Every structure is written in structure tokens, then in C-alpha cells.
């Protein structure tokens, strides 16, 4: 596939992986890091780690998810390549540097054609709910933070973000608080970012600075205390991105986890390119993001995205 904006290749390239492949040998670390397209490995047998390291996402031969991944990348080649480049570099970055890189990529895509096409087809609604987005309760050394926007499946908007940061700042400052619990009220833990707010800031550069100044992900990552997320129902986008930063993730049986951002022409923007690879690795993070598929609680436990299943 050729980009409409430049002659460089974009989109995706498929590589067949099988047990007869020769040894990779020494491949310069920056060889894959700078390729401006997604490398899809299609496995037809056991594959060595060195070959897997040269792929952005790997699927089994005959798995129907391959067609979905290819379709998503064909529809969003710029977003797909941007996400692949971002994830390749995260292993070499600290959490803080990784969040800066993610926010920078997110801002670039907000000014791009793929996000513009999505925004043009999804008119924003104005939220009339003036109520608080978070409830904070303390029980001795435990601080319980509950997202209270159930009518919108606890979609993360700017007000909720700021209230979460405020609660986490309180937890960090109080030595008497030894454990922080994060919950969601209603049918879902958090169904992701509030789509009505996406792209509504005056410009992507200002939005980038705001994300860095008021980062829930950074507050969670810096909180040197036990943190537990109790997830249930839809735990999409920012919901799982933030939960993955906590010490433990307890998933209810009805939990569904997904990273749908590529369909919007965006990469995960709440810290997911930092938190998820540290829990489940780059390839599984890519699988979630490029496929857009949801996984259940049992799969999340098997992958390490959840640490425990609740009864």
C-alpha cells in the first residue's frame, strides 16, 4: 500500500513464520524501530523469539482475526504505522518518557486525516450533567475511588480526569493511606474516553500539554502504595489502560477488555502503550489494538492483564 501523503510504504506487510526459518542472527535494534509500516507475522508452526521480535503482531495461520487486522490497517494506515513505531520504542523508555511519547503521537494523529474522517462522521454531543465524576471514601488506611458516571458507562472526560488526579494526589500526600482501590459505578468499570470530547480542544499541541500536566496514568505510576482496580463489564480504552498501571487488577466474570482507538484514527492515549506492554508484552498489546477485538476475563487472567477473578 502506498501513502497518499508520501512515497514511503505504509500499511502492513505479512511475513509467514514457520519452524524451518533460518536463524535471524544479529539484527540492528533500529532496523525494525524505523520501518514505517506494520509487520504482521502469520505463524504456521513454532517460531523462535528472534523472529517474533521482528514482528509487530503475530496471528496463527487460519485465524479469522488476520482479516480484521488487515482491514483495520488498510482503513487506518497512518494510525497503524504510528502505533507500531510507538510500541517498538516503549521498551527503551521509562514510564514518564513513554507517556510523553504516547501523548506526542496522539496529538499528531489528532491533526491527521484519519481522525478527521472519524470526527466528521460522529457529531459531538454536549454533556448536560454538572455532577461530580468521582466519589472518594476513606476507611482507615484504604482510599476508595469510584467513578460515578454510570449513565455514560463511566466514560473518561476532562472533569473525571481532573477529579481522579486530585484523589490520587491526596492518596500520595497522606502517609496514613496505604491502599487505593479504583472502581466504577454501574454496568461498566470504564468504557473508555468520552468520544464527545475527542478533538474538541483548541489545538492538539495545547491538548498535549494538558495531558502531561493532568495525567491520571502518571499519578498512578508514581503512587508508591498498593493499588487495586476492580474491573467489570466494558473495560475499554482508557479503562484498561489506567487499570493496568495498578498493582493488581481484579476482574469480574462479565469483564470485556478492548483497545478500540485505531478505529477512531488514534492510538491509546491514557497510557496504554506504556502500561499494557509491561503486563502482557508488545505483541499482545498490538493484537488488541490492531484487531479491536474484546477479550474476556478468563483470557485477561491467562495473559496477565488481570491478576485475579472475582466471584
pLDDT over 60 (residue 1): no
Domains of the chain: 12-119 (no CATH), 132-270+291-309 (3.90.226.10)
pLDDT of residue 47: 78
User: Residue 119 — very low, low, confident or very high, per pLDDT cuts 50/70/90?
Assistant: confident
Rounded-to-integer distance, Cα 134 and Cα 280, Å: 29
Q: Please state, for a pLDDT cut of 70, what percent of the chain lies above it.
A: 89
What are 296's three cell numbers?
Answer: 474476556
Comparing CA positions, the residue from 236, 207, 237 lying closest to residue 111 is 207
Model confidence pLDDT, tens digit, residues 243-285? 999 999 999 999 999 999 999 999 999 999 999 999 999 999 9
Please state the pTM of the whole predicted model.
0.89
pLDDT of residue 7: 39
Lowest mean pLDDT among 19-33, 58-72, 113-127, 229-243: 19-33
* Better-predicted residue by pLDDT, 301 or 33: 301
Model confidence pLDDT, tens digit, residues 12-42? 777 777 666 666 665 555 666 778 889 898 9
pLDDT over 50 (residue 232): yes
Amino acid at each position: 500500500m502506498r501513502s497518499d501523503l508520501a512515497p514511503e510504504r505504509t500499511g502492513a506487510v505479512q511475513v509467514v513464520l514457520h519452524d524451518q526459518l533460518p536463524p535471524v542472527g544479529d539484527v540492528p535494534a533500529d532496523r525494525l524501530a524505523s520501518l514505517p509500516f506494520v509487520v504482521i507475522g502469520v505463524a504456521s508452526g513454532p517460531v523462535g523469539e528472534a523472529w517474533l521480535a521482528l514482528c509487530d503482531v503475530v496471528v496463527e495461520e487460519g485465524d479469522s482475526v488476520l482479516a480484521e487486522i488487515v482491514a483495520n490497517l488498510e482503513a487506518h494506515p497512518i494510525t497503524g504505522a504510528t502505533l507500531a513505531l510507538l510500541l517498538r520504542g516503549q521498551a527503551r523508555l521509562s514510564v514518564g518518557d513513554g507517556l510523553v511519547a504516547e501523548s506526542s503521537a496522539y496529538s499528531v494523529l489528532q491533526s491527521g486525516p484519519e481522525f478527521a474522517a472519524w470526527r466528521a462522521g460522529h457529531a459531538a454531543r454536549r454533556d448536560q450533567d454538572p455532577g461530580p465524576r468521582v466519589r472518594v471514601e476513606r476507611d482507615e488506611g484504604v482510599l476508595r475511588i469510584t467513578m460515578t458516571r454510570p449513565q455514560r458507562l463511566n466514560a473518561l472526560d476532562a472533569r473525571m480526569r481532573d477529579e481522579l488526579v486530585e484523589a490520587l494526589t491526596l492518596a500520595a500526600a497522606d502517609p496514613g493511606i496505604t491502599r487505593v482501590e479504583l472502581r466504577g459505578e454501574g454496568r461498566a468499570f470504564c468504557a473508555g474516553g468520552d468520544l464527545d470530547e475527542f478533538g474538541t480542544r483548541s489545538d492538539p499541541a495545547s491538548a498535549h500539554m494538558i495531558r502531561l500536566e493532568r495525567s491520571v496514568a502518571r499519578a498512578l505510576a508514581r503512587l508508591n502504595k498498593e493499588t487495586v482496580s476492580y474491573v467489570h463489564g466494558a473495560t475499554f480504552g482508557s479503562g484498561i489502560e489506567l487499570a493496568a498501571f495498578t498493582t493488581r487488577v481484579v476482574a469480574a466474570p462479565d469483564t470485556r477488555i478492548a483497545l478500540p482507538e485505531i478505529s477512531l484514527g488514534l492510538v491509546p492515549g491514557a497510557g496504554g502503550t506504556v502500561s499494557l506492554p509491561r503486563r502482557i508484552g508488545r505483541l499482545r498489546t498490538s493484537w488488541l489494538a490492531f484487531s479491536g477485538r474484546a477479550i474476556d476475563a478468563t483470557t485477561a487472567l491467562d495473559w496477565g492483564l488481570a491478576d485475579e477473578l472475582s466471584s
